[in-house]
């Protein structure tokens, strides 16, 4: 079992209680008895800051991130994978705070792929506990910092206590508007398209839509990001040197600018984010034109 006294992650990366897991019953996205009521805090909004060398009008509105390289970061230090995930939480906190300060409207992070269930059970269980404890640790500060949290993906397979707290976190932060933080958990780009098609097929069956009326805009509006009314990403960042999208936003990335870096996710910070934004602002987006 991972000990937080390992010489590895910097203390700022470590959670106060990364192993806690409360077990409850309720179903997916149905939260009626809010045991966490009163956690949220609000405070005056800070002014938006544009980093030196960047242009406000060219900043991406929606940034998506594939947070890759946590396990390799741990292995390179002779540590267990859990240490890498803990360090990755620290990197995520830094990126969320920078996006909030710099006026990014939407930040989507790929936290857990539907393909990740194939990993060792002990690792998956740790990730589920880590997701829950991170949300619990951060919900108050996200409320204070005007960050709205939304979760996309099939959460029906998640532990009940995690499902409950996801619903609580979404409800607590739903009126915040400084930054929209979208967390993809048990998400699959392929299934996102499948469920959109299934929804449209049901509408055809019910006589609401004629088959010849189906077009790309109708499919687009049935995808998970449109269901929560956010635009497609302007910029996708993937860390760790892998040059692929790994079943993430397969439809939504059609005109997204892609940025790949060798940096492992736990080492990704302000300098790397600035570099990604500089690269983005140097590109000409033509949208096929």
Active site residues: 68
Provide the β-strand partners of residue 151: 183
62 token code pair = 């929606």
What is the Rg, in whole angstroms, of the alpha carbon atoms belonging to the chain? 19
Q: Give, in order, the Cα–Cα distances in Å from 29 to each of 100, 169, 191.
A: 26, 11, 19
CA pair distance 191, 94, nearest whole angstrom: 30
User: What are the strands, taking DSSP E only, across 136-272?
Assistant: 147-152, 179-187, 235-238, 257-260
In angstroms, the CA 128 to CA 115 distance is: 14
The burial class, CB within 10 Å (0-12 / 13-18 / 19+), for 87 is buried
Helices (H), 177-266: 189-205, 216-222, 224-227
Which three-class secondary structure state does DSSP give residue 45?
coil
């Amino acid at each position: 079992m991972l000990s937080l006294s390992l010489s590895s992650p910097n203390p700022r990366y470590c959670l106060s209680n990364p192993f806690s897991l409360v077990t409850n019953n309720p179903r997916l996205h149905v939260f009626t008895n809010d045991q966490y009521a009163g956690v949220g805090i609000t405070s005056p909004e800070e002014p938006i800051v544009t980093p030196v060398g960047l242009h406000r009008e060219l900043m991406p509105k929606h940034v998506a991130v594939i947070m890759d390289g946590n396990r390799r970061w741990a292995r390179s230090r002779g540590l267990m994978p859990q240490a890498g995930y803990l360090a990755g939480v620290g990197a995520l906190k830094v990126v969320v705070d920078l996006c909030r300060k710099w006026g990014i409207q939407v930040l989507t992070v790929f936290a857990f792929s539907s393909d990740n269930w194939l990993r060792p059970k002990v690792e998956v269980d740790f990730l589920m506990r880590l997701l829950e404890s991170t949300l619990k640790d951060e919900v108050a500060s996200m409320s204070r910092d005007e960050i709205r949290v939304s979760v996309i993906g099939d959460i029906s397979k998640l532990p009940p206590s995690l499902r409950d707290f996801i619903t609580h976190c979404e409800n607590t932060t739903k009126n915040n508007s400084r930054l929209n933080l979208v967390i993809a958990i048990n998400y699959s780009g392929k299934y996102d398209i499948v469920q959109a098609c299934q929804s449209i097929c049901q509408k055809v069956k019910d006589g609401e839509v004629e088959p010849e009326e189906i077009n790309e805009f109708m499919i687009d509006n049935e995808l998970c990001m449109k269901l929560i009314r956010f635009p497609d990403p302007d910029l996708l960042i993937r860390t760790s040197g892998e040059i692929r999208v790994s079943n993430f936003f397969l439809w939504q990335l059609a005109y997204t600018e892609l940025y790949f870096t060798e940096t492992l996710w736990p080492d990704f910070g302000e300098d790397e984010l600035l570099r990604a934004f500089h690269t983005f602002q140097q590109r000409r987006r033509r949208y096929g034109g």
